[in-house]
Amino acid sequence: MEKLLAAAAKTRPADPRSREAARVRDRYIAVRFEGIARSSADLSDPERVIKAARLQFEEGHPEAALELIELAVEQDRSEPSLWLAELELAFLLRMRRHFIETARAFREAHPGTDAWTEIDRLGRALAPDEPTFRERGKRAHDHYGPWPHLPNWIGAPWDLTSEVLGADFHAAMTQGAPQR
Amino acid sequence: MSPSRDLAIAFDKSACRKDYEQAFAKLLVAMPRMPRRELAEHFIALEALLDDGMVEVKTAMLTEGLLSPRDYQLLGHWIYRQHHNLMRLGAKAVHACAADSKVDTARTMRLLALTFLHVGDSVKWELMAGRHYPRDYPALHGLMKLAIAKRRQGERGELVVDGMRREATLEQLYLRTLLLDRFASGPLTSEEIEVLDAWLWEWGDALRFEARHEGGLVMRADLDANGGLAFGPRNAPGVSLYLHLEPLEDLRRAVINELHRGHVVPHVGRAASMPIQAHVAVLLQLRKLFSGAGSPESPRAPRRGMLGDKMEVLVGAQEILAALGPRKPEARRLTPRNASATGYLFVTSDKATEDIAVGTLLGLRVDPREPPVLGRVVRRVHEVDDGWHLGVEVLSDPSVPIRAASLESDGGKSHDLVFVPGSDRSGRFDSFAVDYGLLGRHERYRLRAGAAVYSLALNRVRRRGRDWALAGFEILEAATA
């Protein structure tokens, strides 16, 4: 299998940064994430990407949520918020291997990050035997976001304004006569 | 009598097609009296001739706009028929050669490989021509049993396919056929199945059977059954072969990783020039298959028969919007054969469905007094002696009617579209059925509903089809009207 995967990797043309490669990647992003991103340029706003990924996750498309974040991380490895959102999604999905690999890669890309205490805590909960997570640092708070014991790196909303608006809109559209 | 490689071979010309048909007919007639070794040679030569002549024609058929609709249909049927005929002739030749001690096993296995190749190709081309011959699973399994009896199922041989040299084992070719079969009666288009086939050739090493189920997610072929691949271990006595799905899922992910790097897989061949949409559609379908969707354990809505009542079917957003207005448009009427909570199966004639393709948006008037229910065509296949089968996935909750809505953009332009309420009162699953063009704009829209004017942005795609998508949205603000 490894041989086969390596062979698949070898089929790619010589220059991965070629214009054609950029075109194919952009087209893939536009098709796979229609309505969310038109090209890789639309992945350069971390806040927007994280929000779109959270919505995908909440609607039961965890694979799409993770892939969207992965694409954005591939594009800008220096932006910590994207890595952290990926880690939180992997944790929520109980993707042990994915979480460990992403945590290691994040630490390598961002040595000395303040977020490691939190990653370490999540890592110990998800993979207690994994040596990567062993710092046992003390957290400043029990939890930060609306979901208990999670750091809310995926930006779940603190207030319910948008939920209330959504419910009002649904009621108006399903009860009233067609209007312009 | 032997077909000549000097024959002018380009099957877009009717004279060339006729030459080939004559060569085929001569071999068919001479076959019973022909020494088996000679038969094998003639079959191999005929097969090479067919492949040579089809390379460019097949590419042209998969390139939009190169052929007239009439030529497209004519050639599609012709290609499908040739693959089917050659496969039947090949199966007979294999059994005849296997029973003759003067023909060495290697030669018989080569015939068998070519026969499997054409079974697979005839399955593929059903999407273009419709299924006109019943699938003969026992014959297919019988050929695999023969390979196993000779202990040659894992032996690798060289083939020329669409003008390209490829290596494959017999079990790989058998599995290719069964996997294509799984999708030929499902939701893939002819472009998409070409992409799938290209990947199956790339993934040859993972297309391996095991004789026993020793855990993990598997599909199996029951060699004594009249059927294709099924999920999970066999619970009844009999011989089955098991295909592990996890290695295939790893390979699917490898294709995604390559797309992230900007490379299609494979980077040469017909599939490489297919639109990215086709690649993404296949990736999503394979995700379902490799995660066990359709297995006995995965939930499936119960079917109920429908007894002959015709249903009004509106085709496309314009017809649906018109039906939601005061003036009811003329709609075609189709008869559903069965129904479930998640969809309908219509069986109908060629004429009634010629403008309906996989991905077409439909409005189904389940109750003639109520607004239509929104649906999407997920399957369109011609079944032998039965007509066209249209599988339709229901997209809206019949208890919460869809309605027409008009979004106004910042420039004051209004867009008429279908509002599709979710069954949840929170509004989280509400959508609009929108034209693709609207999705790319990332604009804010206003819509008046009740006593308020809502400002909203389309921000995700829940379902997609031909030129339309079911888009989720976010309410940005509301103001009193």
B360-414 pLDDT, tens digit each: 999 999 888 888 999 999 888 877 777 888 999 999 998 889 999 999 998 889 9
The answer to whether A9 faces chain B, any CB pair under 8 Å, is yes
Q: Which one has a higher pLDDT value, B329 or A46?
A: A46
The answer to whether A22 faces chain B, any CB pair under 8 Å, is yes
pLDDT tens-place string over residues A91-108: 999 999 999 999 999 999
pLDDT surpassing 90 at residue A177:
no
pLDDT attached to residue B8: 42
Average pLDDT over every residue of B26-50: 94
pLDDT attached to residue B352: 75
Q: What is the side-by-side order of every strand in the sheet holding B240-244?
A: B209-210, B240-244, B218-222, B230-231
Average pLDDT over every residue of B316-330: 87
pTM for the model stands at 0.82
Contacts of B463 in chain A (CB under 8 A): none
Hey, what's the torsion of the CAs at A121, A123, A128, A131, to 10 degrees? Answer: -100
| Of the partner residues B421, B461, B474, the one whose CB lies closest to the CB of residue A173 | B421
**With pLDDT > 70 as the criterion, what percentage of chain B qualifies?**
94
Cβ distance B255 to A8 less than 8 Å, yes or no, reads yes
Cβ distance B251 to A3 less than 8 Å, yes or no, reads no
Pairwise CA distance, residues B467 & B336, whole Å = 25
| CB atoms inside a 10 Å sphere around CB A128 | 8
Instruction: Return the structure tokens found at B146.
Output: 């023969």
pLDDT surpassing 80 at residue B344:
yes
| Of the partner residues A1, A24, A176, the one whose CB lies closest to the CB of residue B250 | A1
| Of the partner residues A11, A165, A178, the one whose CB lies closest to the CB of residue B266 | A11
Pairwise CA distance, residues B33 & A75, whole Å = 67
Confidence of residue B212 (pLDDT cuts 50, 70, 90): very high
pLDDT tens-place string over residues B437-472: 887 777 899 999 988 999 999 988 888 888 899 999
Pairwise CA distance, residues B337 & B391, whole Å = 10
How remote is the C-alpha of B371 from its chain's centroid?
31
pLDDT surpassing 50 at residue B1:
no
Confidence of residue B2 (pLDDT cuts 50, 70, 90): very low
Q: What is the CA radius of gyration of chain A?
A: 19
Contacts of A4 in chain B (CB under 8 A): 203, 205-206, 251
Average pLDDT over every residue of A156-175: 84
Angle, helices B69-98 vs B36-61, to 10°: value is 160
Nearest to B189 by CA among B113, B302, B274: B274
Residue labelled with tokens 């607004």: B371
Average pLDDT over every residue of A73-92: 95
Shortest Cα–Cα distance, B408 to chain A (Å): 9
| Of the partner residues A8, A25, A170, the one whose CB lies closest to the CB of residue B202 | A8
Average pLDDT over every residue of B1-22: 71
pLDDT attached to residue B296: 63
Confidence of residue B14 (pLDDT cuts 50, 70, 90): confident
pLDDT attached to residue A180: 32
Average pLDDT over every residue of B33-61: 91
Contacts of A50 in chain B (CB under 8 A): none
Instruction: Return the structure tokens found at B55.
Output: 């390379």
Q: Which residues pair with B406 in a beta bridge?
A: B416
Average pLDDT over every residue of A112-122: 91
Q: What is the CA radius of gyration of chain B?
A: 25
pLDDT attached to residue B60: 83
State how far the alpha carbon of B152 is from the alpha carbons of A1, A179, B201, B219, B435, in Å: 22, 70, 19, 22, 53
pLDDT attached to residue A148: 52
pLDDT attached to residue A179: 36
| Of the partner residues A4, A24, A173, the one whose CB lies closest to the CB of residue B259 | A24
**Region of poorest pLDDT, from B74-78, B115-119, B148-152:** B74-78
pLDDT attached to residue B294: 66
Cβ distance B205 to A3 less than 8 Å, yes or no, reads yes
> Which chain B residue's Cα is nearest to A171?
B425
Confidence of residue B186 (pLDDT cuts 50, 70, 90): low
Average pLDDT over every residue of B314-332: 88
Contacts of B254 in chain A (CB under 8 A): 5, 8-9
Shortest Cα–Cα distance, A20 to chain B (Å): 7
Residue labelled with tokens 């799409």: A64
Q: Which one has a higher pLDDT value, A167 or B66?
A: A167
Confidence of residue B184 (pLDDT cuts 50, 70, 90): confident
pLDDT tens-place string over residues B399-430: 889 999 999 998 889 999 999 999 888 888 99
Q: Parallel, antiparallel, or unpaired for β B332-334 and B230-231? A: unpaired
Shortest Cα–Cα distance, A69 to chain B (Å): 12
**With pLDDT > 70 as the criterion, what percentage of chain A qualifies?**
78
Pairwise CA distance, residues B360 & B376, whole Å = 6
The answer to whether B428 faces chain A, any CB pair under 8 Å, is yes
Contacts of A13 in chain B (CB under 8 A): 263, 267
Cβ distance B258 to A22 less than 8 Å, yes or no, reads no
CB B184 within 8 A of CB B124: yes
Q: Which amino acid belongs to residue B446? A: R
Average pLDDT over every residue of B231-256: 95
